[in-house]
Amino acid sequence: MSKKHAAHDPADEDPAQDTPVTSDDQPEIMEQLAKEVHDLTEALQHERADAMNLRRRTDEERARMAGFYKALVVRDLLPVIDNLERAIKHAPKDLADHDYVKGVQGVVKQFEKTLAELGVERIKTVGEPFDPRFHEAIQMEEGDGDQEIVSEELQPGFILGDEVIRHAMVKVKMA
């Protein structure tokens, strides 16, 4: 026999439903219902807060991972940029106006523009006070001052946000 046509079984009924509610019971029931509503509302608020915190942590982790991989790719491209800059620097003087040299210069400028769009910045060096957070001193020159100043850049350094991708290799002079 299907459920639609099943006979009504009095044993299936909740005996509490048959108990009449008196006006004396109403304040207790109302108090109990109010407490249940309060408890459920509080539980829902906690669940919402947990969901928001999880979403925030996930977004932060995603951004951190994106920055990590961006820095990794940039770090791998820096030697290419270094070699292109060396090629331009060591081009014979009589070829300075040659289209080939201008093409290589254009590629270097394109790399620099792309790095800037990614948020990568070149570390300032020559004339700046030596800062071991950004500079790697390769050579120290004597001078008559008491402050360490970068006198020459041997290899450029780069930062992405607060992270140093590569320290600038520099010569330092007391000035």
Walk me through the domains of the chain, giving residue ranges and CATH numbers.
26-118 (3.90.20), 122-175 (2.30.22.10)
The encoded tokens of residue 52 equal 């928001």
161, two tokens: 């946000």
Give residue 21's pLDDT band: very low, low, confident or very high (50, 70, 90). Answer: low
Contact, 145 vs 172, CB < 8 A? no
Tokens of 156: 């450029």
Q: What is the pTM of this model?
A: 0.67
What is the reported pLDDT for 103? 93
pLDDT of residue 73: 94
Give pLDDT, residue 96.
85
CA nearest to 122, candidates 167, 83, 73: 167
How does residue 84 score in pLDDT terms, banded at 50, 70 and 90? Answer: very high
pLDDT at position 140, please? 93
**Residue-level pLDDT at 7:** 55
pLDDT in tens, 111-154: 999 999 999 999 999 999 999 999 999 999 988 888 999 999 99
Say if residues 155 and 135 touch (Cβ distance below 8 Å): no
- What is the Cβ-side half-sphere exposure of residue 7, based on CA atoms within 13 angstroms? 3
In this predicted model, which residue has the larger pLDDT, 21 or 86?
Answer: 86
Question: So what's the pLDDT on residue 54?
Answer: 96
pLDDT value of position 16:
52
Q: Which residue has the higher pLDDT, 158 or 20?
A: 158
How far is residue 125's CA from residue 166's CA, in Å, rounded to a whole number?
13
Check residue 123 and give its pLDDT.
97
| Mean pLDDT (the chain, rounded) | 88
